[in-house]
């Protein structure tokens, strides 16, 4: 396969796993073949610092003498989910209310994956917005870094303002442009 070295390929698949602490993970192609290395820098170039296991992903790859690597992300789709609320705070809400809430620009204040939660600040608003790990997973993210730009659908929950959906800022901008 020497003639395949340095050739670029457009691949669709799923995130097998991604560890933001290690800075890499792997993608499995829908067509089969070897696992594809996904480096955190490629993910950051797409505007995210993490991606959830099982998320759909479309990447541009190239084969090197060390294996197949993603060099660009074209799109990421959150993992398939049931249309049921992930938190009891959402149980009494109509899902249309959540889906129709406006996207609000925000920045991560802090997030602790081991605790399963964190907080963000919506631009122009003084109060913190609670971020739960299950909402991140449902939104296709696995972790967040302080200062990371987000777009969130926020609801007033039993314990205050909380994120019901989270997107990397670049994803939200491209979603509203189309």
- What CATH number is given for 88-177 in this structure? 2.40.50.140
The winner for highest mean pLDDT among 18-32, 68-82, 135-149, 157-171 is 18-32
Quote the pLDDT of residue 2. Answer: 42
Parts of the chain belonging to CATH 2.40.50.140: 2-77, 88-177
Average pLDDT over residues 48-68: 89
Class in CATH terms, 2-77: mainly beta
12-21, 67-76, 168-177: least confident range: 168-177
Write the CB contacts of 166 (distance below 8 Å, at least 6 apart in sequence): 131, 135, 136, 139, 141, 150, 151, 152
Q: Quote the CA–CA distance of 121 and 165 in Å, as a whole number.
A: 14
Q: What is the mean pLDDT of residues 48-59?
A: 88
CA dist list (Å): 50 to 54, 55, 94, 123 = 12, 11, 29, 22
Flag whether pLDDT at 178 surpasses 90: no
Residue 31 has pLDDT above 90, yes or no: yes
Query: Residue 139 has what pLDDT?
Result: 80
Q: Own/partner pairs for 116-119, CB < 8 Å, 24+ apart?
A: 118/144
């Amino acid at each position: 396969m020497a003639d395949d070295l340095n050739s670029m390929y457009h691949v669709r698949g799923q995130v097998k796993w991604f560890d933001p602490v290690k800075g890499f993970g792997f993608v499995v192609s829908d067509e089969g073949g070897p696992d594809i290395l996904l480096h955190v820098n490629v993910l950051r170039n797409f505007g995210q610092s993490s991606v959830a296991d099982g998320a759909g992903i479309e990447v541009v790859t190239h084969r090197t003498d060390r294996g197949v690597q993603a060099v660009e992300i074209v799109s990421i789709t959150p993992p398939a989910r049931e249309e049921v609320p992930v938190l009891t705070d959402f149980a009494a809400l109509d899902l249309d209310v959540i889906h129709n809430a406006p996207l609000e620009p925000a920045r991560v204040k802090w997030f602790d994956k081991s605790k399963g939660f964190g907080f963000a600040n919506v631009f122009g608003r003084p109060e913190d917005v609670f971020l739960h790990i299950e909402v991140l997973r449902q939104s296709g993210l696995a972790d967040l870094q302080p200062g990371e730009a987000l777009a969130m659908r926020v609801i007033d929950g039993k314990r205050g303002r909380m994120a019901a959906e989270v997107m990397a800022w670049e994803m939200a901008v491209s979603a509203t442009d189309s």
